[in-house]
Amino acid sequence: MLAVAIAAAMPVAAATPPPSAVAHPALWPAARAPLPADPAVEARIDTLLKAMTIEQKVGQIIQGDIASITPEDVYTYHLGSVFNGGNSSPGNDEFAPASAWLAAADAFYDASMRPNGKLVRIPAIWGSDAVHGHNNIVGATLFPHNIGLGATRDPGLVGRIGAATALEMRVTGLDWTFAPTLTVVRDDRWGRTYEGFGENPEITASFAGPLVEGLQGRIGSADWLKGAHIIATAKHFLGDGGTTGGKDQGDTLATEAELRDIFAVGYPPALAAGVQSVMASFSSWNGVKLHGNRSLLTGVLKDRWGFDGFVVGDWNGHGQVPGCTVTHCAASATAGLDLYMAPDSWKGLWQNTVADVRSGVLPMARLDDAVRRILRVKIRAGVFEAGRPSTRPHAGDWSQLASPAHRALAREAVRKSLVLLKNDGGVLPLRPGARILVAGDGADNVAKQAGGWTLTWQGTGTKPEHFPNAQSIWRGIADTVKAGGGSAELAIDGNYTAKPDAAIVVFGEDPYAEFQGDRADVAFNDTRDTLAMMKRLRAAGVPVVAVFLSGRPLWVNREINAASAFVAAWLPGSEGGGVADVLFGKADFTGTLPYSWPRRADQVVLNVGDADYQPLFAYGYGRSAREAGNLAPLSEAGPAATGSAPGVLFTAGRATSGRQLFIATAGLAPQSVELTATLPSLTARAADRRAQEDSRRFTWAGPALASVLVREPAGRDLQRETNGELALIVELRVDAAPTAPVALLMRCGDGCAGSIDITARLAAATGKGWTRIAVPLARLAAAGADMARIDTPFELGTAGRLDLTISEIRLGSADGAR
């Protein structure tokens, strides 16, 4: 075991990339840094570098997540920056007030500046994913996600949004945003599709410069990177939107010309606008991880394009480079990474990197270059002279969070983002003096209309009170109708008290972020029977206006047919009144599709310019409410009208996506579970929770060991889900307590499994109705499961007696999972 431990600690050089993953900088357009080198700045950096110890230099190139780091750690390990991940916040309170963020910013800054003998003091900075406004802060303005902004085709608008976001960040003392996302999305199965402005690089190229200038200010101006402006990050370099199968953190198989001409077009205008940091992508290009691709990070970005800011990694992305771990990866720095994002791995990474520098594995010249780049940005941003975050301009001015001007800007963005796909009989615009029914689970649901990256990473787990400065779509409609002399009724299920003149049904995708939103196809999963409600209203003679909330275009032919009018509203954010403005004619529809809309559920790769381009609605499509013309009925041939959300293994009484549900015991063939199945020591039968036969009841009789299990059709790689802190979640009811130990397992082939004892948790849940058990994937991995090759993602076994009913098994975020 000692030999294994020593071998694991040794740095391993990254494998030589195949030729198809080596970029040729001479084939890329040449550029130069927009700001000439400043001799005074460079001399100041020289002085600092001479005064810094190796430990200080390494501290500058590593940042930790505030959930895993303290101000004292910043002081002790000389860390140059911190960040908050999607689920990280001051005091581990995701709904901490803005004042707590400012106090935390002061604490980390103070730690970095506290005297430490004769060591030079370098202020720490704080980065955050402010991707649609300052979206981690309760009460901040929430702008439409990028997919909606892409529909506006308005570069000036996104520049103003960038400026508003920067100002709200400065209010809470933060220095740096991990935005803008300059991805060009080519497969809508990807769970980050809504973070891209569109499928065509022309939109991204037109938005990149104005958005960077909005965030950072204009080069040469007195407040560039200072005052009301912040440091911006162009991400994710490069090709993140082109991965095979739309798999997050996957592999983009593309020629160098495609990489350059499709996926890279947003970066030159961002660099020309002076963006000061670029984030390396989790993904690979032709099999080689971007965190280790020197030809791109150094050859193209730094040498060919003259980028003189710093390259920051993504969440432990360096650990995916061959030969690396999250705590040991000189290869990423050698390739051109300047700042490791090491959320919970920062300490081990700091220790190993110091050792690598001392041994020469990481050359001092490369370390000095990385530190120089970071110091250059800090000097340009004035952080050495700025003082404590709470003393800087705009800090603590809470009136700027969701100020009237910012909310008006967000409402304008919502109006301009809406795309009208259907308007039969000219049902739109509606009369504000009419009797209006508002229905659907998205109608009075700010969390759903805001989507992922909203207060929490996935945008879930929030309550209405967490959005004090937001207006739901229902509230916006109610205010408009009241002002027009009409009446509005909210009935989520569509059951009205008096027949309305028209019904507005708001529905769509539930919030998600990153790989939790990856899908197998682009069919909308109508898990709440919205289609049936729409058909019922139409049958009663009520015109139906469908407002569809989604982070991507989806196959919704049945819903479009059931609606009189259909509006793609994307993820509009906090200003639901912007939807009402357009539905009731205060403004016309001007939005156009930034993504092609699928004709079929299997049109997962559908982009303008494709050889066989046959969308339902083409890229750039969008009606005006003043246009005449009805839409012919659409084909409804396709997947079942209801389905499971991404990550669900078992729901509605059956395993999902080709998986199979079995009961098994040693010596006998496993029995597939449809409605019922029987073995000598275990039986399965249908049961009800929310609907008839939507669950399965399992009764163990003992004494032989028996299990219920879900099998994958092929081995599945769950490493990214494990890294993303997901859990295996089981919704169940325990009717009879276990009489022997019960194990929850994941299997990874013969002789490979991770097992967790859940006996006590099942005993505690007995007789208490429906409950949830969540086990972090990291615990199953630590228990022995090889997360790269899971073939049985769920197994529950005991040799005793037990009676329980399962309604759902899924992978997902689970606060408090253990």
Enzyme catalytic residues: 314, 514
- The answer for residues whose C-beta is within 8 angstroms of residue 455's C-beta and 6 or more apart is 94, 95, 135, 136, 138, 462, 466
Q: How many CB atoms lie within 10 A of CB 382?
A: 16
Strands 251-252 and 176-177: unpaired
The owner of tokens 């022995």 is: 784
The phi and psi torsions of 8 (rounded to 5 degrees) equal -65, -30
Q: Alpha-carbon distance 811 to 721, whole Å?
A: 8
Query: Can you tell me whether residue 193 is helix, strand or coil?
Result: helix
User: Do 506 and 438 contact (CB within 8 A), yes or no?
Assistant: yes
| 507 backbone φψ class: left, alpha, beta (φ>0; ψ -120 to 50) | beta
DSSP assignment of 128-162, as one string?
E--SSBSTTSTT--BPPPHHHHHHHT-HHHHHHHH
Query: Can you tell me whether residue 562 is helix, strand or coil?
Result: helix
CA distances from 680 to 131, 615, 655, 758 (A): 55, 54, 23, 23
Could you tell me the two tokens for 712?
């994958």
Q: Alpha-carbon distance 378 to 358, whole Å?
A: 26
- Is the link from the previous residue into 703 a cis peptide, with omega within 30 of 0? yes
Task: Return the DSSP state at 318.
Answer: G
User: Do 355 and 11 contact (CB within 8 A), yes or no?
Assistant: no
Q: Alpha-carbon distance 350 to 230, whole Å?
A: 27
Q: Alpha-carbon distance 167 to 181, whole Å?
A: 19
CA distances from 799 to 538, 639, 796 (A): 54, 40, 11
Instruction: Enumerate the H helices of 242-310 as residue ranges.
Output: 256-258, 267-272, 294
Q: Alpha-carbon distance 500 to 489, whole Å?
A: 9
